[in-house]
Amino acid sequence: MSSVPLTRNFCIIAHVDHGKTTLSDRLLEYTNTVSHRVLTAQHLDSMDLERERGITIKSHPVTMTYPAKDGQIYKLNLMDTPGHVDFSYEVSRSLAACEGALLLIDAAQGVEAQTVANAHLAFAQKLKVIPVINKIDLPSANLELCLKQLEDILTISSEEAILASGKSGIGIVDILEAVVSRVPAPRWTDYPQPRALVFDSLYDSYRGVIAYARVFSGSYKAGDMMMLMNTGQRAEIKEVGVFTPKMMKVDVLGAGDVGYFVSSIKTPSEIKTGDTITLANKAATDMLPGYKEVRPMVFCGLYPVETSDYEKLKAALGRLQLNDAAFVYSSESSLALGFGFRCGFLGLLHMEIIQERVRREHDVDIISTYPSVVYHIVTHGGAIAQIDNPVLLPDPGTILEIREPTIKASIHIPNDSMGDILALVMEKRGVVEHTDTLDAHRVMLTCMLPLNEILVDFNDRLKSITHGYGSMDYELSDYLVSDLVKMEILVNNDPVDAFASIVHRDKAEGKGRALCEKLAEIIPPQMFKVAIQAAIGGKIIARDNVKEMRKDVTSKCYGGDISRKRKLLDKQKEGKKKMKQFGKVSIPSDAFIKVLKTN
Amino acid sequence: MTHVETEQAKGEAAPRPGLYMHVPFCASTCDFCAFYQIKPTPGMIERYFDGVERELELIQPARTYGTVFWGGGTPGLLTAGQLRRLGGLVEKYLGGRRATEWTVELAPGSVTSERLEALREIGVTRVSLGVQSFQPRLLDALGRQHNRGQIDRAYERVRSAGFASVNLDLMFALPGQEEAEWLADIDTAVGLQPDHLSTYCLTFEEDTALWVKLSQGRVKLDPEREAQLYEATWARLAERGFAQYEVSNFARPGHACVHNLNTWHMHEWVGIGPSAASQHDGWRGQNVSDLEAWAAAVDRGERLTAEKTCLSPALLAEDALIFGLRMNAGVDLARWQAVSPAAPWGGVNALLDRMVADGLALREGTRVRLTDRGRLLADSIGAEVMAAFTAEEVVR
Ligand SMILES: Nc1nc2c(ncn2[C@@H]2O[C@H](COP(=O)(O)OP(=O)(O)O)[C@@H](O)[C@H]2O)c(=O)[nH]1
Ligand code: SF4
């Protein structure tokens, strides 16, 4: 029996665009938590990047008050969850803070890859899953199919489904009632000591790190000495509060509550998502389950286009990290690109988001190097080194084997693109483990793929082959031995470290040729002869030549033209300084991005 | 030495300074024109003459002028009497001698026997006719005011007036011009038997009507086509006995333009008139491009110079290379190493060697010159030379 029978903690999980944001807004509106006007304004000016990409990175919990049909007034805590596989650990922590989940399915789209992945995450957290077929107002809604998929793919009884439309406000009361009646009251409330699960945090320049947490047992108030169980770190609680959705100070946070903690902790890395907050004077002995150190999976170098922007970039990365403990960086330098930073991300999307933020919110023009995963290098001595930068790969003679991270992916596709997708998976060195029929038109492939192979263009190609209908979700799997080599690109016989990559031996030549070709195409015509080569350990495996400049001469150049001419040449010279110099070759800074994008 | 080099050597030893006079009047504006020019009124012409007189007095170089060049604008807009008067102003500064070379630019439509007679009288030796094209359609497109008949008549008159040297200015890469049409123009020009030919690739200068068309996408730039036209021009003129001595200039033996060679060798010249550029007494600059402002300034006893730059030995050496390499005979490095021993010659030599290795340049003794391919890239090479001299670029 729960000691807090009138609280429900739940979240909404869905595939991108299935209507999570719209439905959340509708629930807040219905419970008068926020007026429609405020809601729109608020959502528009915060995190436009997330909205553009249809994902949520920061969790925005909110507490609603709902007078249910049973005559009782309930406190409903709605947890928002990040919507992308890169953030699956964060998702799992948000889910762990709940007892139930609304699983949205777009009535016109049916179950998609993320729907399945999210449902499984929710099952794993032992959440009560409430299926909601959303967007039933759409003329293309196919209820019958959705209900069947629910049973066949998710093994949820179709009886349980609620039909709704966030847009038209259909089914809102049904949903709220289901949350009250089907989601269990807060669990683990009778654990003898206080425990609260950190599911996110926010950095505030005045108040330090604000931890978002779900209290399972005990109570917390300002003045208490809290303790983080993972590190043993103690800190005085300065303030506790709830989300309305604005932060609102309260006197006490008790079992079942979702709220925030302001403490004397100023360093974001000291409060980690998944950690348990207890109180120092009656410390719990067991942490709440599921804590994990998150490790960045994808690395790349980020460099300012203008060398003078180095400090600005450093400050930008520092500020971004304050609110994103999963993002790491350290300084590095490159012969080709100068001084910059090695950055680690949870995944490709995470990488893109950070890069985009640096550009947009911090207004620094950056170049990124070829992304890399973390390889495990086993040397003859038996030591295992973790390498995230191809440039740092030790001498091949000392390497016993190289292991690369793999993923287990589930790919949902229309039947008719099966052939092309299988070819794509093969090309990416993947192995299809099994195929499952989703319905008359769709199948799900479960496959193993090297993480490295899906970094750059896998998703784009999946989308283009399936005309946008394909979707993919993945989880990390094992490190496996693979025949990998370091491929270098030489411009004018100089290795360009920014283009170095670790590739599978069988693919080196093809990749090398494609890279050389692309670079030869992108580098503007040069007056000197410039060769572009791909090499493995000094052996040239592909080559191309930059186009030779044909004509660049001003016809007339007399006395009066000399000063003018000098100015033009000076401009030309300065223009070249803005490009990256390789010996005497100028490469426009966006060449790197173009190459990365097209490869 | 080949005859080209002998020709060029004429300008290489420090000669008397040149005198450039800008006559800023035109009847109308050509589409490709970026020069300072205005439609004249009688009052303006008076103002101009007074100004020229004052400015010449103001300068008084230690030496007298060796060459004279009247450009524009359109010097031919002046009447015979006005030309005589202008000549009279110049004569005082020739030290009692005849100018080695005295060029006047004339538009074919302005060539009259009276004017030519006046020019011969004052000592003009060389006439440069702004033909541009023999194709009526293209002349029209350029906004030029003359026709084929006028060109022929003008040429006839200039020749019979007995000038020592006659140049024709021609333009190529005109919008809509076929290569065959251009080669026909060259042949027509050669058929007239001039002593010198200047062939200009149409360039798009900001603030010109053509630039506007280009930026609106009505005219397309095509470097490949231009390169082909350049090459075709060089080959055709060589066949016809005109030796190229600079990117755009070709002469029969003995007829290279001394005044221009003097400029490209980074010697001194004095520019008179609004917008005229000068290089003498340790600086380089340009008169203000406004007749009234220029005239008012020289009235006050002052030259209004825009973009005045001090000429250090290193800058002169740099420019001698940048502009000298545009000439077929190239540059004598020894001379400039002597002028500016402190310049970063190591980097410059490395650049030149690399150019030689890539077939852009040739070195013979202390001389360096560009190959045909190199000459087509003279601007890029200029920028590289500039970089080598400023040594900002660190070669790994
Ligand atoms: N027709 C219809 N469209 C909806 C409904 N809910 C959301 N949408 C639309 O679906 C798109 C994605 O909605 P959003 O709430 O942003 O989805 P999210 O990515 O899951 O947060 C938007 O264009 C919405 O206007 C609905 O109930 N009916
Ligand atoms: S005649 Fe010469 S100066 Fe006059 S407008 Fe034409 S191009 Fe310009």
Specify whether B190 is located in the same domain as B51: yes
With beta carbons under 8 A apart, name residues in chain B contacting A335. 396
Does a structural domain hold residue B304? no
Contact between A88 and A121 under an 8 Å Cβ cutoff? The reply is yes
With beta carbons under 8 A apart, name residues in chain B contacting A551. 223-224, 226-227, 230, 376-377
- For the beta carbon of residue B333, count every other beta carbon within 10 angstroms: 21
The matching CATH number, chosen from 3.40.50.1220, 3.40.50.2300, 3.40.50.300, 3.40.50.720, for A4-182 is 3.40.50.300
Chains A & B: contacts with CB separation below 8 Å: 118
Residue whose structure tokens are 């191309």 = A544
B24 lies within 8 A of chain A by CB: no
**Once rounded to an integer, what is the mean pLDDT over residues A83-110?**
87
Q: In the numeric block, which tokens belong to residue A44?
A: 């528009």
Task: State residue B222's pLDDT score.
Answer: 85
Top-confidence residue, A337 or B388: B388
With beta carbons under 8 A apart, name residues in chain B contacting A557. 247, 264, 323, 326
Which atom of ligand 2 is the closest one to the Cα of B105? Answer: 2
**Once rounded to an integer, what is the mean pLDDT over residues B50-72?**
89
Contact between B287 and B271 under an 8 Å Cβ cutoff? The reply is yes
Contact between A525 and A518 under an 8 Å Cβ cutoff? The reply is no
Out of A332-341, B212-221, B232-241, which region has the weakest mean confidence (pLDDT)?
Answer: B212-221
- Strands A162-163, A128-134: pairing kind: parallel
Q: Which of B198, B229, B264 is the last residue of a domain?
A: B264
Instruction: Return the amino acid letter for A284.
Output: A
* Residue A46 pLDDT > 60: no
**Once rounded to an integer, what is the mean pLDDT over residues A31-57?**
51
- CB-defined site of ligand 1, < 6 Å: A 14, 16-22, 54, 134-135, 137-138, 165-167
B385 Cα to the center of ligand 2, angstroms:
32
Residue whose CA is closest, atom 8 of ligand 2? B33
The matching CATH number, chosen from 2.30.30.100, 3.90.45.10, 3.30.70.2570, 3.40.50.720, for A486-598 is 3.30.70.2570
Q: Is B201 in Cβ contact with A581 (below 8 Å)?
A: no
Does a structural domain hold residue B176? yes
Instruction: Return the amino acid letter for A176.
Output: L
B104 Cα to the center of ligand 2, angstroms:
14
Instruction: Return the amino acid letter for B51.
Output: G
Cα A111-A113-A114 angle, rounded to 5 deg: 95
**Contact partners, residue A66, CB within 8 Å, separation at least 6:** A31, A73, A74, A76, A176, A180
CB of B26 closer than 6 A to ligand 2? yes
Count of positions (residues) in chain B: 396
Top-confidence residue, B211 or A137: A137
For A436-447, the pLDDT digits (tens) are 988 788 899 999
Specify whether B224 is located in the same domain as B92: yes
CB of B327 closer than 6 A to ligand 2? no
Residue whose CA is closest, atom 19 of ligand 1? A17
Residue whose CA is closest, atom 6 of ligand 1? A19
Specify whether B259 is located in the same domain as B194: yes
- From the CA atom positions of chain A, what is the Rg in Å? 27
What pLDDT band is residue B180 in, cutting at 50, 70 and 90?
very high
Specify whether B350 is located in the same domain as B251: no
Question: Taking the CA of residue B121 as centre, how many other CA atoms within 13 Å lie in the half-sphere pointing to its CB?
Answer: 15
With beta carbons under 8 A apart, name residues in chain B contacting A580. none
Q: Which ligand is nearest to the CA of A18?
A: 1
Specify whether B33 is located in the same domain as B141: yes
Tell me the C-alpha distance between B335 and B12, whole Å: 10
Q: Is A577 in Cβ contact with B263 (below 8 Å)?
A: no
Specify whether B346 is located in the same domain as B225: no
Q: Is B395 in Cβ contact with A576 (below 8 Å)?
A: no
A90 closest CA partner among A199, A202, A211, A210: A199
Specify whether B113 is located in the same domain as B25: yes
The matching CATH number, chosen from 2.60.40.420, 3.40.50.300, 1.10.275.10, 3.30.70.240, for A376-482 is 3.30.70.240
Q: Which ligand is nearest to the CA of B209?
A: 2
Does a structural domain hold residue B285? no
Domain of B381?
313-395
**Contact partners, residue B356, CB within 8 Å, separation at least 6:** B362, B363
Cα A307-A313-A316 angle, rounded to 5 deg: 165
Contact between B170 and B199 under an 8 Å Cβ cutoff? The reply is yes
Of B200, B358, B377, the CB nearest to A555: B200
Q: Is A551 in Cβ contact with B224 (below 8 Å)?
A: yes
Task: State residue A37's pLDDT score.
Answer: 44
CB of B203 closer than 6 A to ligand 2? no
- For the beta carbon of residue B127, count every other beta carbon within 10 angstroms: 29
Q: Is A570 in Cβ contact with B379 (below 8 Å)?
A: no
The secondary structure of residue A441, as a DSSP letter, is S
The total number of structural domains that make up chain B: 2
Residue of A nearest to B35 (CA): A560
Specify whether B232 is located in the same domain as B367: no
Top-confidence residue, A305 or A257: A257
Q: Is B386 in Cβ contact with A569 (below 8 Å)?
A: yes
* Residue A1 pLDDT > 50: no
Does a structural domain hold residue B8? yes
- From the CA atom positions of chain B, what is the Rg in Å? 21
Out of A214-218, A405-409, A586-590, which region has the weakest mean confidence (pLDDT)?
Answer: A586-590
ipTM: 0.84
Q: Where are the domains of chain A?
A: 4-182, 195-282, 298-369, 376-482, 486-598
With beta carbons under 8 A apart, name residues in chain B contacting A559. 18, 20, 260, 263, 269, 271, 277-279
Contact between A151 and A157 under an 8 Å Cβ cutoff? The reply is yes
Does a structural domain hold residue B290? no
For B256-301, the pLDDT digits (tens) are 999 999 999 999 999 999 999 999 999 999 999 999 999 999 999 9
Residue of A nearest to B308 (CA): A563
Report chain B's mean pLDDT, rounded to a whole number: 90
**Contact partners, residue A572, CB within 8 Å, separation at least 6:** B379, B380, B383
Specify whether B370 is located in the same domain as B256: no
In which region does residue A382 sit, left (phi positive, over 0), alpha (psi from -120 to 50) or beta (all else)?
A: left
Task: State residue A571's pLDDT score.
Answer: 83
Cα A176-A18-A30 angle, rounded to 5 deg: 30
Contact between A470 and A414 under an 8 Å Cβ cutoff? The reply is yes
Q: How far is CA A259 from CA A12, A78, A219, A237, in A?
A: 18, 11, 12, 13
With beta carbons under 8 A apart, name residues in chain A contacting B383. 569-570, 572-573, 576
Task: State residue A56's pLDDT score.
Answer: 47
Q: Which of B245, B264, B283 is the last residue of a domain?
A: B264
Out of A525-534, A588-597, B325-334, which region has the weakest mean confidence (pLDDT)?
Answer: A588-597
DSSP notation for A60-86: --EEEEEE-TTSPEEEEEEEP---SGG
Contact between A280 and A311 under an 8 Å Cβ cutoff? The reply is no
**Once rounded to an integer, what is the mean pLDDT over residues B342-371?**
95
A298-369 topology per CATH: Alpha-Beta Plaits (3.30.70)
Let me know if the fold of A298-369 is the same as that of A376-482.
yes
* Residue A99 pLDDT > 60: yes
- For the beta carbon of residue A35, count every other beta carbon within 10 angstroms: 11
Which atom of ligand 2 is the closest one to the Cα of B34? Answer: 8
pTM of the model: 0.67
Specify whether B257 is located in the same domain as B191: yes
Tell me the C-alpha distance between B296 and B294, whole Å: 6
What pLDDT band is residue A497 in, cutting at 50, 70 and 90?
confident
A195-282 topology per CATH: Elongation Factor Tu (Ef-tu); domain 3 (2.40.30)
Mutate to test the interface with A, among B379, B381, B396 (most CBs of A within 10 A): B379
Contact between A234 and A280 under an 8 Å Cβ cutoff? The reply is yes
Specify whether B207 is located in the same domain as B327: no
DSSP notation for A160-172: G-EE-BTTTTBTH
Q: In the numeric block, which tokens belong to residue B392?
A: 């900002």
Report chain A's mean pLDDT, rounded to a whole number: 87
Does a structural domain hold residue B228? yes
With beta carbons under 8 A apart, name residues in chain B contacting A562. 263, 277, 279, 284, 319, 323
Specify whether B206 is located in the same domain as B340: no
Task: State residue A58's pLDDT score.
Answer: 55
With beta carbons under 8 A apart, name residues in chain B contacting A528. 354-355, 358, 360
DSSP notation for A206-223: TTEEEEEEEEEESEEETT
Contact between A80 and A56 under an 8 Å Cβ cutoff? The reply is yes
pLDDT over 70 for what percent of chain A?
91
Task: State residue B10's pLDDT score.
Answer: 55
Residue B195, φ and ψ in degrees, nearest 5: -95, -20
Out of A31-45, A238-252, A269-283, B92-106, which region has the weakest mean confidence (pLDDT)?
Answer: A31-45
Of B22, B203, B269, the CB nearest to A556: B203
pLDDT over 90 for what percent of chain A?
52
Q: Which of A12, A15, A17, A133 to mutate to test the pocket of ligand 1 (most atoms within 8 A of CB)?
A: A17
Does a structural domain hold residue B96? yes
Mutate to test the interface with A, among B380, B381, B385, B390 (most CBs of A within 10 A): B380
What pLDDT band is residue A592 in, cutting at 50, 70 and 90?
low
**Contact partners, residue A201, CB within 8 Å, separation at least 6:** A209, A210, A211, A212, A268, A271, A273, A323, A325
B345 lies within 8 A of chain A by CB: no
Helical pair B345-357 and B378-390, crossing angle rounded to 10 deg: 150
- Domain containing residue B248: CATH number: 3.80.30.20
Residue of A nearest to B263 (CA): A559
Tell me the C-alpha distance between A38 and B96, whole Å: 92
Does a structural domain hold residue B348? yes
Contact between A127 and A99 under an 8 Å Cβ cutoff? The reply is yes
Task: State residue A596's pLDDT score.
Answer: 62
A132 Cα to the center of ligand 1, angstroms:
13
B271 lies within 8 A of chain A by CB: yes
**Once rounded to an integer, what is the mean pLDDT over residues B81-95?**
94
Tell me the C-alpha distance between A162 and B28, whole Å: 81
Which atom of ligand 2 is the closest one to the Cα of B26? Answer: 4
Mutate to test the interface with A, among B377, B390, B392, B394 (most CBs of A within 10 A): B377
